[in-house]
Amino acid sequence: MQLQTEGVPCNLCGASSYQKVSSETYELNGSRVSLGVVRCNHCKLVYTNPRLTQDSTFLVYEHDTAHTISSNYCWAGDHSQARFVPLIRRLHKLSPTGKLLDVGCGSGDFLRAASQSGNWDSVGVEPIENAAESARSVSDAEVHTSVLEKAPISPNSMDIVTMLGVLEHLHDPADTLSTVRQLLKPSGLLAIYVPNFNYLRVKDTGPLCFLRRRRWSDLHPQEHQFHFTVNTLHALLQKGGFEVLRTDVGQPFAVGNAVVRNLKRGFHVGVQALWRQTGVHLGGLEVIARVSDCVASPSYRTPAA
């Protein structure tokens, strides 16, 4: 088993000029590669470069599942439905009924919550077979074991598409957003949750990371291909033909013991207040957007420090 890497330009603006943020070594079954995290000099998008190829990334999920972010947070974490309640309420106000597609539904926690809300006819897409089987079991919803581009979903058939903890894992999120736009009805909704690099760069790089992990960077570039801020996420959505309706501090993934979960909930309250009062966003990025009538060129702004 030999891991393969590739160099790529910025997925947002296409530029190939960047500044290095950090680098990490990843090893799987004796194959070792060096992966970089860089910031585009033009639009400021942070992305993994060089990165694992698509085929090598699937090897990570297949053979190193227990050590992946996806497993720890989305597949084997706390299965409480409470963290999805605020998002479901926001979506219900904007689109009370119809069809909902959860892309990258993992083990089916959100899909179950959406189905049990009684608001929408829900369906999921998940490329990892074990996770897809779990999603079918817990949600009683139709779940396709597939990547989105190959799933049997008709164009203009969905009222809502959700992508929670997904966009940062994709090799070409701009192209996937184009596919999502085609699947949505006119004025359909897209809900996204991604980690916030303005928080991760403090926690998972530099001195604090070294104190916590005994390493200078822990951004998981073998999985996370992109590291978004409010500005770069908004710009990517604009490029994909979406109009951002609202940006919130997403509910945290409540993993760990009771003390850790309570600390996360307390931190969430604090960063919510910070976002509302100052416009500084340090929590998980939750964005709801609507299909726009036209695809406009995004305007790039340097993200706030």
Identify the CA nearest to 238 among candidates 181, 276, 154. 181
Identify the CA nearest to 205 among candidates 220, 222, 217, 219. 217
Estimate the share of the chain in helix, then strand, then coil, as percent rounded to the nearest 5.
40, 25, 35
Taking the C-alpha atoms of residue 103 and residue 123, their distance in angstroms, rounded to an integer, is 9
Listing DSSP states for 203-215 in one string gives HSBHHHHHHHHSS
Cβ 161 vs Cβ 191: under 8 Å: yes
Task: Please state, in angstroms and as integers, the Cα–Cα distance from residue 89 to each residue in 273, 278, 292, following that order.
Answer: 20, 25, 22
Whether pTM > 0.85 for this model: the answer is yes
The stretches in the chain having pLDDT less than 50 are 75-77, 302-305
| Residues constituting the chain | 305
Structural domain boundaries of the chain?
A: 84-194+229-291
Quote the pLDDT of residue 78.
52
Amino acid at the residue 250: G
Give the number of other Cβ atoms within 10 Å of residue 223's Cβ: 20
Taking the C-alpha atoms of residue 277 and residue 160, their distance in angstroms, rounded to an integer, is 30
Contacts of 184 by beta carbon, 8 Å cutoff, 6+ apart: 156, 158, 159, 160, 161, 190, 291
Residue 111 is classified by DSSP as: H
Q: What architecture is domain 84-194+229-291?
A: 3-Layer(aba) Sandwich (3.40)
